[in-house]
Amino acid sequence: PRRRNALSLPMLQSLRRDLLHDVKSQELRVIVIAAEGPVFCSGHDLKELSSEDDVKHHSQVFELCAEVMTLIQKLPVPVIAKVNGLATAAGCQLVASCDIAVASEKSRFATPGVNIGLFCSTPAVALGRSLPRKVALEMLFTGEPLSAHEALMHGLVSKVVPEDKLEEETMKISQKICESSKSVLALGKATFYRQITQDLDTAYKITTKVMVDNLTLRDGQEGIEAFVQKRKPVWSH
C-alpha cells in the first residue's frame, strides 16, 4: 500500500507466482485479486523506467507485465478483480484483463500516461478490448478518469456496489461460480477468449465443435441427466 500497489518487477513476479499457485489443484475454483489501501494499483513503478535502467530492463518489465495479463485469461478458473480505490495505467489494464470486475462506488479508472510523456500503449490492449473504441481513446488521449458508474456503463467493470458491500458481492459471485463444474467452466473460458477475436463464421465453427466436445465430458452428461431427472447435479470436475 505504501507504494500504491505499483506493478514493480518484484510485484509482477509475485503476482505471477500467486496466479500459478495451486493452479492444477482440484480445489481451486476461482481467483480474486484484491488490494489494500486507497489505491487498487497505480500501474508501473516509474522509478524502474528511468534512464538509469537500460533498455533490457525496461523490456523485461513490459514483457513480464504482458505475460501476467495474458496469463489471467489462460488460467482454467475465473479471475475476479475486487476493486476498492483508484486503478491507473497498468493497474487499469489489470482490471480490464480480469474475467469479472466488481468495484466499490469510490473506485476510479484512468490511463494517465500521456500526461507524463509515456502513452499507455500496453494498457490500451486490454482497454481497447473491454471498452468502446471512442471511450478507450478518450481515456488514453486525455488521462481523465472514469468514475465507477461510468466504468460500469461502458463495460470496464461488471458491478458497482457500496464499499461496505464489496466483499459480500465478490463472495456471492465466487460462490455461484463454485456451484458449477470446474471442467465445464475451464472449457467455456478458454473457448470464449479463443473465439472472441475471430470473424463470425470462424467463431461459430470453433464453438460448434466445442459444444460437441462439452457433451463428451462426464460433467456435460451429468448436468443433462440431472436436469431431466429434476435433481441437483453431482459434479466430478
Mean pLDDT by 10 residues, the chain (237 residues): 94 97 93 96 91 85 97 97 98 98 98 96 97 98 98 98 98 98 97 96 98 97 97 96
- Taking Cα atoms as reference points, which of 151, 175, 201 lies closest to residue 80? 175
Q: What is the pLDDT of residue 202?
A: 98
- Taking Cα atoms as reference points, which of 102, 118, 199 lies closest to residue 151? 102
Note the pTM of the prediction, 2 decimals.
Answer: 0.95
> Domains in the chain, ordered, with CATH?
9-178 (3.90.226.10), 180-229 (1.10.12.10)
Q: What number of other Cβ atoms are within 10 A of residue 221's Cβ?
A: 13
* Distance from C-alpha of 62 to C-alpha of 139, rounded to nearest angstrom: 20
Helix (H/G/I), strand (E/B), else coil: 143: coil
Report the DSSP beta bridge partners of residue 82.
102
Q: In the chain, what percentage of residues exceed pLDDT 70?
A: 100
Q: pLDDT tens for residues 103-139?
A: 999 999 999 999 999 999 999 999 999 999 999 999 9
Q: What number of other Cβ atoms are within 10 A of residue 54's Cβ?
A: 9
